[in-house]
Amino acid sequence: MKITFRNFRIIDAFSDMTGNVRVNGGRIVDVVPESAARADPGIEDGGLVFDGGGRLVLTGGFVDMHAHFREPGSSEKETLESASLAAARGGYTSVVCMANTKPPIDNEEAAAFIKRRADTLGLTKLYPAISLTEGMGGKRLSPYLATGPSRENAYRPPLLSEDGRDVEDDGLFAAALRRAAANGHTVSCHCDLGGEDAAVERALRLGAGSRVHIAHVSTKGAVELLRRHKKLKPRSGITAEASPHHIALTHGDAEAAGAETFGKVAPPLRSEEDRLALVEALKDGVIDAIATDHAPHTEEDKLNGAPGFSGLETAFAVCYSTLVKRHNFSPQKLFSLLSAVPARILGLSGCGAVSKGGSADLVVLDTDRETVIDGAMFASRGKNTLFSGKKLYGAVVLTLCGGRIVYQQAF
């Protein structure tokens, strides 16, 4: 499909300008700055034309390093279809889904099957993570790590993770990290064993020489550990993420909703001091990326204490309202945290930016639009969010994945 985006503010990690972008055959075929766009008709024969009026923002599709799609085994919480629709509505064109399904995704064949189904849907580019241990039981290496990638290379995950729990045995954890590093894999670490700070210290210590990624950082102590480690070992390859709910909310919000029910998440919402430490760490690069930790549940699940919130459809508005409006981040910095940096960590070439020749994974944003969040309207089956009823700035109005429009609302 041929599409021209005319008179948009084009922002990514590398540029901030007004101009035109042309898409054809799933690729970005031209990026024309405003100075040249005056003489540019901006129309492809037989193609669609969208006019941004110089106000709407066009940026690279968002990349989520951390989401729970619940398939296989928990279709009452989420299906591949509902999660993919939620991703498209949230502007996410690439997503890593975690392995803690029923049964867990611990081998190449299971992961490849999920990816093929997602590719058939065509709503988002899905990359299933593979677990570190067999069945996520913490007793022996997963079949994928034990044998290594197949010669046929049916599927190579950009991330390995035991998210939802830690590998308790130090020897097994260290062996998994070494084996992952030998095969060029990054490992996302949950970091909860003995408390977040202690678990982060353990992951940094046992992961020396490995590509370790610290998931959902939530404490000031963990931030300081990462800051110290990165200063001492700037080329260690350690990366980290923060989640929108930890960036925007505190334990007071959890308590108001019910700390053991609708306000429960792992790790828990922390103090305002912790929240501000995350904001500062995102600003100066100690925390590299933002990831949703999308965790859909039924209402019954939440009443019974299941931890987590649905986050794909609220992430942009939450982050824009919190980081740009409240804490003076530039839009360019925010979009880098949501797109280019996670793409780089995952090794997803050709996405996360608006550049000629790159993949046509793009999102159109109305940063002036005010939105009142209503979890009941989510595409996700999980309506669990602490942002229901909150007025936030910023809306996703169009998502383009591989050159196809997968979500659109009125501009």
Six-digit token string for 89: 């509505």
Residue 222, CA distances (Å) to 65, 209, 250, 302 in order: 19, 20, 16, 27
Q: By C-alpha distance, which of 102, 180, 181 is closest to 142? A: 180
Q: Which helix (H) or strand (E) holds 146?
A: helix 143-147
Six-digit token string for 337: 């945290």
- Catalytic hit among 64, 106, 293, 361: 293
351 and 60 Cβ atoms separated by less than 8 Å: yes
**Residue 20: φ, ψ to 5°:** -115, 150
Q: Which helix (H) or strand (E) holds 187?
A: strand 186-189
Distance CA 142, CA 183 (A): 14
The one-letter amino acid at 174: A
Q: By C-alpha distance, which of 166, 234, 165, 235 is closest to 206? A: 166
DSSP state of 235: T
- Terminal C-alpha separation, the chain: 20
Pairing of strands 125-128, 159-161: unpaired
Distance CA 25, CA 28 (A): 8
Q: By C-alpha distance, which of 71, 67, 72, 121 is closest to 95? A: 67
**CA atoms within a 13 Å half-sphere pointing along the CA-CB vector of 290:** 30
DSSP state of 143: H
Distance CA 394, CA 345 (A): 26
The one-letter amino acid at 212: V
Alpha-carbon Rg for the chain, nearest whole angstrom, is: 20
Q: Is 368 a catalytic residue?
A: no
Six-digit token string for 313: 């459809």
Catalytic residues, which ones?
293
